[in-house]
Amino acid sequence: MGLREIARRLGLSRSTVSLALQGSPRTAEATRRRVQAAAMKLGYRPNPHLVAAMSRLRASRVGGPVACFGVISFYDTPHPWEKLPHLPRIHQAMQQRAGQLGYRLEPIWLRAPGMTYRRVRTILKARGNQGLLCFGSPEVDQEFPAELDEFAIVTLGQSIRTQLHRVTSHFFRDTWRTLERVHARGYRRPGLVLGHYDDVRSGHECAGAYFGWCAQHLGSAAAMSILRLGGVESAPLLAWIKAERPDVLVFVHLSSAIPELHAILNANRIRVPEDLGVAVVSQVIEQTKFSGMQQNQQLMGTWAVELLAARIVHLDLGIPSHPRIELVESEWLDQASLRAPVRKL
């Protein structure tokens, strides 16, 4: 089933059908809905290579991107990537990949004074938005507005409770790979320090990986009790270290908590790595002295745009019944908080 046949059945021109399937504001909303419904009913499947080629052609004709993705912010700022250290690279990667595919990005601040979700929907339609990228929310279990469910949507992370297509860190693999790394360096008593927020936003996958890895490699009895913390407080951390006697900490927490950990260890004269090894799993660790897993933020931004573009090509709009989830593994950074690997004889 091609564009010509859809146009014939609906009594429309081929160009009108093409524009309607792209979600172009140059066609009336009623026409877009009518054409898209007919295309789905008739089993129309666009050629993705042709779509990509036409997108590049349209962009070259006007000297830049012609279609638009809205970038949704639930934060207290329309540009959260300017305030949070783990978001600039994601946003930069989004911009770069969107431009290559013929799209521009426009920020949409859901919590602007006087803003309502209905007004947001009107703004998005007026700007010709074809899809929405969401940076997640500072609040875990945030619902996505039902008023915006007519657009293709991709979110980052797991803070949005609504069933959406998403790109997120592979928390289970990141924790498992960290344990493998420290084990290769001779550590045999790994202890997990887990932030409450990270525990929830990972779907408790970090804890699952820890217990599973210990059971497989050390025996289930070797797993220590997990220390779960909101902020990094000296008294519970030191008491746990004394009681459990880990030889290495696997510290899974927000990047803002890493300086607190460093300060507590220094204040109590715990030498790293001489007295205690430390491996951190977080969004950004490269400016710290700790080894560990750092989010691959560039890949997350790139994949989010590619996933959204693919959903638009397949007319996959609204809240999906079966969302696609892209898991991005973090990158290991070897710094100064672990002893050297054990040499195999």
Residues 280 and 143 in one domain: no
Q: What angle do CA 136, 320, 209 make, to 5 degrees?
A: 55
CB 242 within 8 Å of CB 186: no
Residues 141 and 278 in one domain: no
Q: Is the pTM of this model over 0.95?
A: no
Banded pLDDT at 136 (limits 50, 70, 90): very high
Banded pLDDT at 4 (limits 50, 70, 90): confident
Picking from 176, 159, 177, the residue whose alpha carbon sits closest to that of residue 168 is 159
φ, ψ for residue 151, nearest 5 deg: -100, 160
Q: Is residue 283 part of a domain?
A: yes
Write the pLDDT tens digit of every residue in 233-283.
999 999 999 999 999 999 999 999 999 999 999 999 999 999 999 999 999
Residues 115 and 198 in one domain: no
CB 292 within 8 Å of CB 178: yes
pLDDT at 325: 96
Q: Which helix (H) or strand (E) holds 174?
A: helix 171-184
Q: Is residue 257 part of a domain?
A: yes
Banded pLDDT at 23 (limits 50, 70, 90): low
Residues 187 and 287 in one domain: yes
Residues 302 and 162 in one domain: yes
Residues 73 and 141 in one domain: yes
Return d(Cα 177, Cα 183) in angstroms, integer.
10
CB 12 within 8 Å of CB 31: yes
Kindly report the number of other CB atoms within 10 A of residue 44's CB atom: 18
Return d(Cα 116, Cα 304) in angstroms, integer.
26
> When comparing pLDDT for 38 and 169, which is higher?
169
Tokens of 277: 């090894």
Q: Is residue 51 part of a domain?
A: no
Q: Is residue 337 part of a domain?
A: no
pLDDT at 57: 46
Q: Say which residue the tokens 């599973």 belong to.
A: 212
Residues 91 and 151 in one domain: yes
Q: Is residue 151 part of a domain?
A: yes
Return d(Cα 9, Cα 188) in angstroms, integer.
70
Q: What is the mean pLDDT of residues 157-174?
A: 95
Q: Is residue 56 part of a domain?
A: no
Give the CATH number for residue 155.
3.40.50.2300
The per-residue pLDDT of the chain, averaged, comes to: 89
pLDDT at 211: 96
Residues 158 and 302 in one domain: yes
Residues 164 and 302 in one domain: yes
Q: What is the mean pLDDT of residues 139-163?
A: 92
Residues 159 and 228 in one domain: no
> When comparing pLDDT for 9 and 144, which is higher?
144
Residues 252 and 185 in one domain: yes
Write the pLDDT tens digit of every residue in 283-315.
999 989 999 999 999 999 999 999 999 999 888
Q: Is residue 59 part of a domain?
A: no
User: How many domains, the chain?
Assistant: 3
Q: Is residue 224 part of a domain?
A: yes
**pLDDT-above-90 percentage for the chain:** 67
Residues 302 and 165 in one domain: yes
DSSP output for 183-214: HHTT---EEEEEEHHHHHHTTTHHHHHHHHHH
CA distances from 172 to 140, 252, 322, 344 (A): 19, 11, 21, 27
Tokens of 62: 């006007």
Which residues form the domain of 235? Answer: 171-295
Distance of CA 110 to the CA centre of its chain: 19
Q: Is the pLDDT of residue 330 over 90?
A: yes
